[in-house]
Amino acid sequence: MKKKKKKKPFGKSVRTLFEVPNLEYKGRLSVLYSSQETFRLSSCPRDQRARESTPLPPPASSQAWLKTLRHRAAELQRRPSASFVLDLRVEHLRRHWLSSPSSSLSHLGNLRQKSLAVPSAQELEEDMHQKIAREMNLSETAFIRKLHPTDNFAQSSCFGLRWFTPASEVPLCGHATLASAAVLFYKIKNVNSTLTFVTLSGELRARQAEDGIVLDLPLYPVYSQTAIGNTLVQDICYSPDTRKLLLRLSDTYDRSFLENLKVNTENLLQVENTGKVKGLILTLKGEPGGQSQSFDFYSRYFAPWVGVAEDPVTGSAHAVLSSYWSQQLGKKEMHAFQCSQRGGELGISLRPDGRVDIRGGAAVVLEGTLTA
C-alpha cells in the first residue's frame, strides 16, 4: 500500500530578495503562514536550515504583521549587512507588492515609508480603496486596474491608476506611480517598454531606462507670494493646480539645516484649514560639490492635510519644484535630493512640450496577497 504524501499546509511560496549593505550576515528571513493561521518567523544562511526560529501569533492586522517584519529587519541590520530573502508563504487571493522608490535598500527596517501597488483583476467597491489604504497605513497605496475586460497585466500598455493616502484619494503621486510601473515591469514582466496610466491628472507615462524608470509628469507653474516679517524664507510660491505651497529657505542655510529642521505638522493643520493648501514644500538651493555629490536643489514635503505627515520622496512635488528651480537656475536638466529620513535622489529633464521627465529607481521589497 502506497504511503500517502503528507500535504504541506503552506500555499504558494513567493520570494523577494532584499539587499542590505554593510552587513556580513548572509541569510534568509522567512514568514510562514499556514491554513491553521500559525506563523513562524525565522532567519537562516542561504541554502541551509534555519538557525533561528521564532513562533509568532497570528497578527491582528496587516499593520501588526508589518511591524513584526520591521523589528526583525532592524535586528538583522544591527549585525556587522546582508543579503537576505523574505520567504512569504500565503494562501488565497489577490497579490500585492510593496515597493521602495529608492535604488538603495539600506533603510529596509522603515517599511512605513514605501508605496503599495495593488493590481486588481476585478473592480473594487468604491469604499474598499480607502479602507485598504487606511489598513496598510503607508504614505500611498496605488490601485492599478484594467481598462477593458480583455486587457492583460503582462501584455497591455494602458491601465487605470488611482492613489490613496490613509486619509483620502489624491490627484497625483509620482512615488506610487513609480512603484506601480516597477511592479508591472519587474514582477509581472510586462512586455512593453512604455506604460500609460489614466489618472485624475490625465495620462501619465512610465518608460524603462537603463538606470531606472522615467516618469512623464505634468509641469506645474508656480506664482510668487509675499513673505511678511523677519523669517528665514527667501521666496514663497503657490501652485494652484496642485494646491502646493513652496517655501524657499534662505541661501545662507545648507542641507544639514533643512534635514534637521523640526516641522510641527499639527500646527500646519491649525494654521491652514481653508482647503487651499494640500501640501507644503520646503526647498533650498543646492551646494556645488556639497557633501558627497552636488545637487541643484534640496527639498522636504509635508502633507498632513491628506494624512501624510512627511512624504519620503515625492514625484508630484518635483513637478512643481522643477518649474520653480528651472526658472531660478536657468537649467533644463537638474539633479535633486529629497531630504526626508529615508530620502532619495531624482533626475529631472524639462521637455519642450511643457512636461517633465523624472527619473528614479525602484525595488520591490515585499510581495504577498490581500484576502477578500
Residues 279 and 345 in one domain: yes
Residues 343 and 235 in one domain: yes
* Inside any domain, residue 217: no
Residues 227 and 335 in one domain: yes
The length of the chain in residues reads: 372
Contact 206, 181 (CB under 8 A): yes
* Inside any domain, residue 367: no
113 alpha-carbon distance from chain centroid = 6
Residues 79 and 160 in one domain: no
266 tagged catalytic: no
pLDDT for the residue numbered 287: 80
* Inside any domain, residue 25: yes
Q: Is 341 helix (H, G, I), strand (E, B) or coil?
A: coil
Nearest in space to 21 (alpha carbons), one of 71, 97, 76: 76
Q: Can you give the CATH number for the domain in which 143 is found?
A: 3.10.310.10
Residues 282 and 314 in one domain: yes
Domain extent, residue 54, equals 13-91
* Inside any domain, residue 299: yes
**Count of domains for the chain:** 3
Per-residue pLDDT tens listing for the chain (372 residues): 555 444 433 333 333 323 333 323 333 333 333 333 333 344 444 334 434 444 444 445 445 555 655 565 555 444 433 333 333 322 222 345 666 544 333 222 233 345 777 777 667 889 999 998 898 888 888 999 999 999 999 999 999 999 999 999 999 999 899 989 999 998 899 999 999 999 999 999 999 998 889 999 999 998 887 654 445 788 999 999 999 999 999 998 899 999 999 899 999 998 888 999 999 999 999 986 555 568 999 999 999 999 999 998 899 999 999 999 999 999 999 999 999 887 888 999 999 999 999 998 887 777 777 765
Residues 206 and 298 in one domain: no
Q: What does DSSP say about strands 233-239 and 26-33: parallel, antiparallel, or unpaired?
A: unpaired
Q: Which of 91, 122, 140 is the last residue of a domain?
A: 91
* Inside any domain, residue 105: no
Residues 132 and 162 in one domain: yes
* Inside any domain, residue 107: no
Kindly give, in sequence order, each residue whose CB lies less than 8 Å from that of residue 223, ignoring residues fewer than 6 positions away: 237, 238, 239, 240
Is 0.75 topped by the overall pTM?
no
57-83 in b/e burial notation, b at 16+ Cβ within 10 A? eebeebeebbebbeebbeebbeeebbe
Q: Which of 210, 238, 263 is the last residue of a domain?
A: 210
Choose the catalytic residue: 140, 259, 272, 367.
140
pLDDT for the residue numbered 1: 53
Residues 307 and 229 in one domain: yes
Residues 199 and 128 in one domain: yes
Instruction: Kindly report the number of other CB atoms within 10 A of residue 265's CB atom.
Output: 14
pLDDT for the residue numbered 121: 63
Residues 163 and 242 in one domain: no
pLDDT for the residue numbered 102: 43
Q: Which residue has the cell 552636488?
A: 294
Q: Is 327 helix (H, G, I), strand (E, B) or coil?
A: helix
Q: What does DSSP say about strands 115-120 and 94-100: parallel, antiparallel, or unpaired?
A: antiparallel
Residues 254 and 181 in one domain: no
* Inside any domain, residue 241: yes
pLDDT for the residue numbered 71: 62
CA distances from 10 to 30, 39, 198 (A): 13, 11, 37
pLDDT for the residue numbered 368: 76
* Inside any domain, residue 358: no
